[in-house]
Structures are given as C-alpha cells and as structure tokens.
Structure 1
C-alpha cells in the first residue's frame, strides 16, 4: 500500500522557478541596482562638475561626441587600408584629430528622444513604400500610352529638428518616384518631384503619405512632451508657435494650387 495520501493521482511537481533560472532571471534587477544606477549617477555628477577645455568640446557630452567621431574616422581609415595594425590605428587616430580640428562639423542639436517601437514602425513603412513604389514605377515604364506626367509639389512640414528633417528627406528620397529637389530651411518647405501626377488621386495620395511620414517622424524622435530646444537650434522658432489650424489652411491652399496647375497642364496638352 502506498504511503501517499492520494495513490491514484499522478505525482505533481511543485510550482515555481528552479534555483538556477530564478538566479539568472534576477540578474537584471541586480544589474540595475548595483551597476546601472551608480553609473547613471556618476555620469550626471561628471556632467555637472567636470570641465573640459574648449578645444575638447567644453562639456562631457560634446567631448564624448568628439571621441566617437575620432574613433569612427580611425575605423574608416583602417578599413581603407584593409589591415589591422598598430601603425594604421595610430595614423588613423592622428588624421581623425587633424580632420576634426581643421574641418570641424557644425553642431547638430539632439533635442528629443528616440522611441524604438515608433522608429521600427517607420522603418517597416519605408520598406512597404519602397516595394509598392518600385512596382508602380516599373509598371509606368512598360505600360503603353503617353509618358507619365511629373511635377514638383511644395510640402509644408512641422518637423522642428534639423537632424530629424534630414532623416525625413532621406526617407522621401529612398522611395522610388519621389525626390526632394529643394529645401526651404527657415520655413520648413520641401519641394518634392513626383514621378506621376496624371490623376488627382495620385496627388492626394502623395499628400496623405507626406502627412503620415511627418506624424511618424515626430512620434519617433521629437514628441512635444519631450522636446527640449538646444542652444544650437538655428531655425525660425516663430514658425513652431503657429496653430495647427493655420498650418492646415496653408496645406489646403497648396493642394488647391497644385490642382489648378494640373488642370492648366492638361488643358495645354
């Protein structure tokens, strides 16, 4: 006779984590408490108390950015030679310091925060637009009939940061069938060449796509609740206090102007 109180029931293991998985599962908590938090406090303390000479950037963040630039240029130098040697590394570091001293790049302010999920969604949208636009351009190239009617359209965007605006322009240029031909830096105007505007629906689709790209870039990099203007910010700040209704009115006027131009071109043809 079995000594268990319920001999007919199968043996059930106690519920709970095993010692080893439980130990490794708690490592991230220990890392936050014993490593990440003191490291963050150390960085904040250095930022407030450590002073760097002007040639080194003046503060910890700028000094770190310059170190990154030197390391990147030295890495590119070693890649160009195709051989990792101490001589190539030292020469690459020396040349990188000379380049960054003699030809310094302008300050690029980082005034928001990066949201990985929104940035990932933006990347997936870019891939989808790339595939769809490639198919449309290929079909327009082989279909019979007159060549597609192209046009340059003006788009008003509400992106505040110069860095994010550059990323948005790169996004537009990567999509087949669209190309930014001119940027009005102060008024935040983009002049975009569209491959085919033979139908009004194509123009409306383009404006919807630009509005979506604008919203996604703002959501991914410069939300209003997290925006901190940089002292190096050089754009016209008055534009960013314009109400949304006024920006919408300007956008509607631009759409009406593009429609009138399209009708005139059709009448001339």
Structure 2
C-alpha cells in the first residue's frame, strides 16, 4: 500500500516561520500606525489650521487654490501631478511661512461689488481726464492739500480695500491712516474751490457706503476671533503725570 506524499518537514517549518513573521510584522505595523495616528490627532489640528469659522476656511482654501494656480502656471502644463504638487507646495508654504491672520468679517454681496468695480472704472477715466487737463492747461498749478475723512468701516481688510480703491483713482492718494479712529488723510491734487472739497467728501461718503453694503452690513457683520489683534501697535503712548520729571 502506497503512502500519500505530503510536504517535507523543511518546507513546513519555512512556511510556518514566514507565516509567523508576517503576523508579527502586521502587529508591529498596526501598532506604530496607531501611535502615529494618535500623535497626529494630538499635535496636528487640521480644523484649527484651516480657521475658526467658515469665512476663515474660505480664505485659507482660496489661498491654497491661488498658490496652486501660480504653481501650475510656472510649470506651464495642466496635469494632475502639477495640481497635486501645487497643493502640497501651498500647504507647506502656509505651514512653514505663515502670514498674520487677517480678520474676515461680514459677507460678500456680488451685486454691490460689481457696482463698485463699475464706479471705479468710471472714476478712473473721469479723474484721469481731469488730471490730464490740469497738466496741460495754461495758468498756475492747482492748489493741493491733504484732507481728512472719517470712514465707518469696522474691518481692517475692508478698510484696506477701500484705501486701494481711493489710491487707484487719479488725483487722490491716502498718505496716512489713523487705525483706531478710522481717519484717512488723503492728498487731493486740486482743492482750488469749495466745490472740489465738497465733491471729495461726497466721494468718500459714497465709497464708505458702498463698501459697507458690499462687505459688512450691520445685519451680517460679526467680529472675527482675530478682530483687533493688532490694536496694541496702535495704542497711544501714556501721558506723563503733570508736574513730573520728563527727563
């Protein structure tokens, strides 16, 4: 009677050793993967990195998208490799080279923003024609001055956009900003009449009204967690007591 042929003892020991080694390796892999996951959970706060609310997250995602777009433009080829590489580079830049948090407050109203753009285009051409006429007209140069205007804009980001709007219009240039009192000191190229001064203040009131309507209506605006983060840089110096030593 012939006995069936089975695996040799040597092959059985090798197979058992490999199976045991695979189980031990899998256990080590699962252990260290779990430890890495716990470390990432405790030290890498993804939601905090993106922002504290939806507006902060939108700004961070927009920044990543813009940096990715620039990265793809630099390579000159649209491909998944370049897009994923751009996202990775953008995340590394925002992590290793973080910029100060910009308070994002209120909501964007595209209709009013479009109206702002159209008014900016109109003011640009009208003011360019006026400045060109002042340059070629006969007579003495126009009388220039620095005028002060207060704007009821609460957000520093929106205030920056308003200042950029004013600076883009020929004939006006913001030379100083009083951050705490929301005062703008604007150089006006022509203040030869009271009408020019009234027109300037009417323009500033219109810009203030449109920016408030476009970005920070009272019913929708609420302070960001980073609102006023730079106020300590704008606090006035303490006044010394009267009669004290001022040396």
Shorter chain as normaliser: what TM range? 0.5 to 0.7
Report the alpha carbon displacement of residue 107 of structure 1 after superposing the two structures with TM.
2.1
Deviation of the 1:85 alpha carbon: 4.3
Q: Take 1:151 and 1:89, find their aligned partners in 2: how far apart are those partners? A: 51
Alignment CA distance shift 1:215-1:146 (3 Å): same
Cα offset, 1:89, TM superposition: 3.5
Q: Distance in 2 between matches of 1:208 and 1:59?
A: 38
* 8 Å CA contact 1:126, 1:175 repeated in 2: yes
Number of the residue aligned with 1:94 = 88
Whole-Å separation in 1 of the counterparts to 2:124 and 2:136: 19
Is residue 82 from structure 1 mapped to residue 76 from structure 2 by the alignment?
A: yes
Structure 2 distance, partners of 1:85, 1:113, is: 34
Q: Give ranges in structure 2 of 5+ residues lacking alignment.
A: 1-43, 232-247
Correspondence list, 1:1-269, <5 A: 52-53=45-46, 56-57=49-50, 61=54, 62-63=56-57, 65-234=59-228
Deviation per residue, 1:63-100 (Å, 9 max, x gap): 55434322321210221232334554344333222210
Equivalent pairs, count = 187
Supply the distance in 1 between the matched residues of 2:84 and 2:212 (Cα, whole angstroms). Answer: 41
Aligned residues of 1:52 and 1:60 also touching (Cα < 8 A): no
Task: Give the 3 Å change call, closer, same or farther, for CA 235–94 of structure 1 in structure 2.
Answer: closer
Match of 2:25 in 1: none
**Contact preservation (8 Å) 1:52, 1:59:** no
Larger Rg: 2
| In structure 2, distance between residues paired with 1:93 and 1:236 | 30
TM-score, with length taken from structure 2: 0.67
Between the aligned partners of 2:60 and 2:99, the Cα distance in structure 1 is 10
Note the alpha carbon deviations across 1:184-204, whole angstroms, 9 max, x for none.
222211111111112221111
Instruction: Check 1:141–1:211 CA distance in 2 against 1; reply closer, same or farther (3 A cut).
Output: same
The SS at the match of 1:213 is helix
CA–CA separation in structure 2 for the residues paired with 1:160 and 1:52: 30
Extract unaligned runs of 5+ from structure 1: 1-50, 238-269
RMSD: 2.5
